[in-house]
Structure 1
Amino acid sequence: MKAVESAEIIFLVDNATDSLSSSPGFFESEFSRLRRRGMPWLSGKCLCCAAHGLSCLITVHAGSDSHTLLFDAGPEEWVFERNVVRLGVDLAAVGAVVLSHGHWDHAGALPRALQMITMANGGHPVPTYMHPAMFALRATRSADGRLRQMELVPGVAVLSGNGADVRLTCYERFACDETFYVSGEIPRLTRFERGFPGQYRQTATGDWELDEIMPDERFVAIHVAGKGQVVFTACSHAGLINVLTEAKARFPHVPLYGVFGGFHLSGTTERIIPETVAALAPFDLRLIAPGHCTGWRAIGALAAAYGERVVPSAVGKTFVL
């Protein structure tokens, strides 16, 4: 993985909106970005829309070169398109797309995102990295025993028809001139991180089987010179500690600097908040940016343990490293 001089991360979709909290010098809030772009007065007609899901645009710079990767697209095309337009984001530079795992809240807007990218770049197909296990019908079981099905991830034919050069793989890859690392399947090593409890998937025969491990999940990483490795984990169904352990193992000579994304410490996984917070300490991260599915209890516990190193993400927020 090539080192880059700097990186800019824009959250196009996230569960929360927050422009009022105090701001460290390395990020810009949604309000500040809109004012800088010419918003003459504060108005809801200018603002982004928060939604249950995640999408972030990561741009890295090295000398005169820059590369941009779209990490997930959020749940729904209207939210993605509205936020991209209101933030004034130019999608023409997107050189690759990564879908982190096969859930609707990360994949629902992907066809429209690809349309917008190819409309901006002159119609060039976009390398789109996906795991072949992402496309199965998934569900959770309710208390009365019924299965609550999830929206399917758009299929290869749909994505290809909207501009994707779909690259299905279970293995690690590099993207955009080796400036982005796309992980393979994440080893499950910790005793307390158990995936997505109670999730099922439909088999080819129409039967339902437990699908708690979710092998299709992967993370993205970059190496910012002078800082270290920055990891992007959309939902951490593999477990945040397993994700960081694998990132460290893949690049043992690059210190971990920060982690962005959903840590999935809400709902049934709230029980592992204390173990997760404690297990983070040895990584000595300088920046912890929880968002999406992390949950308020976990964000509070992380902030209590790690203080100003914890800077939650929010829709429209831009981080500069």
Structure 2
Amino acid sequence: MQPIDQLEITVLIDNTTDSLSSTPAFVETEFAGNWRRGMKWLSGKCLCCAAHGLSCLLTARTGGAAHTLLFDTGPEEWVFERNVVRLGADLGAVEAVVLSHGHWDHAGAMPRALQMITQHNGGKPVPTYMHPEMFALRGIKFPDGGVRPMELVPGVDILTGSGAEVVVTTEARSILEGAFYVSGEIPRLSGFEHGLPGQHRQTAEGVWEPDELLMDERFVAVHVAGKGLVVFTACSHAGLINVLTEARARFPDIPIHGVLGGFHLSGETEAIIPQTVEALAPFNLALIAAGHCTGWRALGALAAAYGDKLVPTAVGKRFRL
């Protein structure tokens, strides 16, 4: 990875909307961004829609050059398109798309997102990075033995037809002139993070088999000069501590400045909130930007432990690091 001068993060989709809470100087709320772009009336007709999912637009700047990456697209096209338009986001600048893992709440809007990008970039194909296991039919198995299936991730044919140049790989790589690092599979080392309880996937023979570890999940990292790594983890099914441990292992000489995304400490994974909060301390993070699937109990515990280092994400927020 090459160090960059500045990183701008625009939260296109998140579970919450919050323009009233105070924020540090490097974070702009949705309301503030709208006023800056010329909103004259405070009105719901100007605002984004919160939805269960995550999508972030990441722009890395060095000197006069900039590279932009779309990290996930959220659950469905209507929310994605509405929020992009209302935030004035420049999709024509997007040079690559990364899907963090194979769940509908991160992938549902991918076809429309690719169409919007190519409509604004002159029709150029968009490198789109996928893990081969993302395309499996997944579901959650309940105590009665029944499986509730999830919407499929769009297939290679659909993505290609929407403007993608699909890159299916399990390997880590740096992209866009080294501005972004896309991880490979994340080792499970913490001992207390065990994935998504109850998740199964369907085999080619139509049999449901356990799939709690979600080995297709990956993170993205950026090296901001003078600060360190900023790690993007969309759902942390691998475990937040496992994600940060792998980032530190790959770049041992670069401190981790912050982490942004969903930490999935809600529902059945609430049991590991105390261990996660404690294990986070040695990383000495300056920014903990938690949102999406983190859950209110985990947010409360993180706030109690780390104070103003916790800056919850919300749709429309813009971080400048």
Report the TM-score when normalising by structure 1.
0.99
The amino acid that maps onto 1:40 is: K
Shift of 1:142: 2.3
Is 1:66–2:66 an aligned residue pair? Answer: yes
Deviations 1:246-297 (A, max 9, x none): 0000000000000000000000000000000000000000000000000000
CA separation in 1, counterparts of 2:81 and 2:177?
27
The aligned counterpart of 2:273 is: 273
Give the Cα–Cα distance (whole angstroms) in 2 for the partners of residues 37 and 150 of structure 1: 38
* Aligned mates of 1:246, 1:79 — CA distance in 2: 32
For 2:144 and 2:31, the matched residues in 1 are separated by 44
Partner of 2:258: 258
Match of 1:14 in 2: 14
Q: Distance in 2 between matches of 1:23 and 1:264?
A: 23
- 2:86 is paired with a residue whose SS is helix
Aligned equivalent of 2:145: 145
Q: Write out per-residue CA displacement over residues 51-107 of structure 1, whole angstroms, 9 at most, x where no aligned residue.
A: 000000000100111000000000000000000000001111101100000000000
Query: Is the counterpart of residue 309 in structure 1 residue 300 in structure 2?
Result: no
| Residue of structure 2 in register with 1:77 after alignment | 77
Match of 1:320 in 2: 320
CA distance in 2, matches of 1:92, 1:285: 33
Task: Tell me if the contact between 2:142 and 2:198 (Cα under 8 Å) persists in the aligned partners.
Answer: no
- Structure 1 match to 2:44: 44
1:146 to partner: Cα distance: 1.2
2 CA distance for matches of 1:288 and 1:118?
33
Q: How many percent identity over aligned positions?
A: 71
- The aligned amino acid for 1:50 is A
Task: Please give the secondary structure, in 2, of the residue aligned with 1:282.
Answer: helix
Q: Which consecutive unaligned segments of at least 5 residues does structure 1 have? A: none
Amino acid aligned to 1:307: G
Separation in structure 2 between the aligned mates of residue 192 and residue 251 of structure 1, nearest angstrom: 23
Residue 230 (structure 2) pairs with residue 230 (structure 1) = yes
Structure 2 residue identity aligned to 1:43: S
Deviations 1:124-147 (A, max 9, x none): 000000000000000001233211
Aligned to 1:98: 98
Higher mean alpha-carbon deviation, 90-99 vs 143-152, is at: 143-152
Counterpart CA distance in 2 for 1:184 and 1:23 is 33
Task: Measure, in 1, the Cα distance between the counterparts of 2:36 and 2:213.
Answer: 44
- Give the deviation of 1:168 after TM superposition: 0.4
How far apart in 1 are the matches of 2:101 and 2:80? 18
What is the distance in 1 between the residues matched to 2:111 and 2:230?
A: 27
Amino acid corresponding to residue 74 of structure 1 in structure 2? G
Structure-2 separation of matches of 1:26 and 1:78: 29
CA offsets 1:197-240 (integer angstroms, 9 cap, x no match): 11000001111100011110000000000000000000000000
Distance 2:103 2:220 in 1: 17
Inter-partner Cα distance in structure 1 for 2:189 and 2:143: 30
User: What corresponds to 2:240 in structure 1?
Assistant: 240
**Secondary structure, counterpart of 1:33 in structure 2:** helix
Q: Which amino acid aligns with 1:106?
A: H
Structure 1 residue 37: deviation in Å?
Answer: 1.0
Deviation sequence 1:286-313 (CA, Å, 0-9, x none): 0000000000000000000000000000
- Per mean C-alpha deviation after superposition, the further-off stretch among 140-149 and 195-204 is 140-149
> What secondary structure is seen at the aligned counterpart in 2 of 1:21?
coil
Match of 2:132 in 1: 132
Aligned residue in 1 for 2:173 = 173
Structure 1 CA distance for aligned equivalents of residues 191 and 183 of structure 2: 21
SS at match of 1:3: coil
Partners of 1:188 and 1:142 in 2: CA distance = 24
Whichever residue aligns with residue 309 of structure 1, its letter is K
SS of 2:243's partner is helix
Q: Which amino acid aligns with 2:299?
A: I
2:101 counterpart of 1:110: no
TM-score, length of structure 2 as denominator length:
0.99
Show structure 2 runs of 5+ residues with no match.
none
Does residue 215 of the first structure (1) align with residue 207 of the second (2)? no
For the Cα contact (< 8 Å) 2:7–2:59, is it kept in 1? Answer: yes
Deviation at 1:148, TM superposition (A): 0.3
**Matched AA of 1:62:** T
**Match for residue 88 of structure 1?**
88
